[in-house]
């Protein structure tokens, strides 16, 4: 891209797969190199600085400080959508994709929470010399994945062929990002709906390469390690087997995948989608598992978009967050098992679940429903 970021096309259209046609690869925008020195108000050029990690002394969590994101794009008008294809014949527009069409595209985020700056060593320093205030560069990487060139589409409305291409992109980027220096885990996710707080409604997701293990992953590894030490078994495997034995919360099962509402679901709508085979991450999936996932995931999304209805029976598209829990790059891979977690903050038509005192302040969750009720509704929506 014009400022030095990477962009990748993933195509399934026949003329591009065959090589008969190629995508536009040059970016005509007059953007400066993102790592070029920055001239301040005093006229002095200074090296560019990236986001910073600060360690919370009370919890041990690393918190990215990415102040530059305050000015990122927010709900732009249709004619200024940065994820839309370039307009045919336009000499310049401030969009991120240079071609006038695309199938699936991945590129580095223009406003990243994590970014490695060349020449800046990834090492811990103490702010003001205080032992309790360690900091380090937020030397990871943030990518955007666009699921469709159609700004009115959604992941649910893509074809199984396109869904398969998206899965291939997730797997490809997971493998490549995991090879970058200092990366500890890769998280592919999607935010959908204004209730979730999305700033761009174009169908897209994100892929984060973290230079540390996130608190959620740390907690799951701790549980899995304790369980393995006590039983000698893989926790994720036994959780899936227990759900299959009970059957009550299993909402969708295919040859290679099982979708179920977890026994201790936190959210008003929550589903986990897991492979039947023990798989650490998306790159480890076979062709058959990927093909099956493309169909199974779309069926799950179809049902979720029917979960709530308006008084007149009109379905309410479900606002949701979905993310792939994958094995870390190095630590705890033998304890990890791939699964997708998808959940919504919508608890009823027009009513949201707000994380109030005990949940926001103490991370002490209280569910407004039961997993069995969620599962019953999703089963009712089977074709």
Active site amino acids: 204
Tokens for 43? Answer: 């006229």
Tokens of 180: 């970058």
- Nearest partner of 229 among 334, 110, 115, judged by Cα: 334
CA gap 320, 363 in Å, rounded:
20
Q: What burial class does residue 289 get, using C-beta atoms within 10 Å of its C-beta: 0-12 exposed, 13-18 middle, 19+ buried?
A: buried
Q: Give the DSSP per-residue string, 120-143.
A: -----EEGGG-TT-EEEE---EEE
Chain center to CA of 182: 20
Backbone angles phi and psi of 31, in degrees to 5:
-90, 140
**Can you tell me which residue has the tokens 């090492």?**
123
Calpha distance 115→140 (Å, rounded): 5
Backbone phi and psi for residue 139, each to the nearest 5 degrees, phi listed first: -85, 60
The DSSP code for 78 is G
Handedness of CA 125, 126, 128, 133 (dihedral sign): positive
Distance set, CA 319 to CA 268, 294, 297, 350 (Å) = 12, 20, 16, 11
Q: If you write DSSP's letter for every residue of 166-191 in order, what string do you get?
A: HHHHHHHHHHHHTTSTT--EEEEEEE
Tokens 């003329």 correspond to 15
Three-state secondary structure readout of 226-250: HHHHHHCCCHHHHHHHHHHHHCCCE
Helix (H) / strand (E) element for 266: namely none
């Amino acid at each position: 891209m014009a400022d030095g970021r990477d962009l990748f096309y993933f195509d399934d259209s026949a003329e591009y797969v065959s090589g008969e046609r190629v995508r536009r690869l040059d970016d005509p925008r007059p953007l400066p190199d993102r790592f070029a020195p920055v001239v301040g108000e005093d006229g002095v050029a200074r090296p560019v600085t990236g986001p910073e990690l600060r360690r919370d002394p009370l919890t041990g969590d690393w918190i990215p400080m990415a102040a530059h994101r305050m000015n990122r794009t927010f709900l732009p008008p249709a004619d200024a959508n940065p994820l839309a294809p370039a307009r045919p014949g336009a000499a310049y527009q401030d969009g991120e994709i240079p071609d006038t069409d695309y199938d699936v595209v991945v590129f580095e985020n223009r406003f990243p929470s994590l970014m490695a700056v060349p020449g800046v060593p990834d090492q811990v320093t103490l702010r003001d010399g205080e032992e309790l205030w360690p900091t380090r560069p937020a030397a990871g990487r943030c990518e955007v994945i666009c699921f469709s060139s159609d700004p009115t589409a959604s992941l649910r409305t893509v074809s199984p062929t396109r869904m398969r291409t998206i899965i291939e992109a997730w797997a490809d980027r997971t493998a490549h990002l995991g090879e970058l220096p200092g990366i500890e885990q890769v998280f592919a996710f999607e935010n959908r709906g204004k209730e979730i707080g999305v700033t761009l409604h174009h169908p897209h997701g994100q892929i984060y390469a973290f230079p540390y293990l996130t608190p959620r992953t740390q907690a799951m590894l701790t549980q899995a390690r304790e369980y393995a030490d006590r039983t000698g078994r893989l926790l994720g495997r036994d959780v899936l087997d227990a759900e299959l034995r009970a059957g009550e919360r299993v909402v969708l099962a295919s040859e290679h995948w099982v979708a179920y509402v977890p026994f201790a679901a936190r959210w008003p709508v929550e589903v986990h989608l897991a492979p039947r085979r023990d798989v650490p991450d998306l790159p480890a999936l076979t062709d058959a598992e990927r093909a099956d996932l493309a169909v199974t995931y779309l069926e799950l999304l179809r049902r979720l978009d029917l979960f709530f209805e308006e008084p007149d029976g009109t379905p309410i598209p479900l606002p949701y967050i979905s993310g792939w829990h994958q094995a870390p790059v190095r630590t705890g891979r033998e304890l990890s098992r791939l699964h997708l977690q998808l959940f919504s903050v919508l608890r009823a038509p027009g009513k949201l679940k707000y994380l109030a005192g005990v949940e926001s302040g103490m991370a002490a969750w209280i569910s407004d429903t039961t997993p069995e009720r969620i599962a019953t509704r999703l089963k009712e929506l089977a074709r």
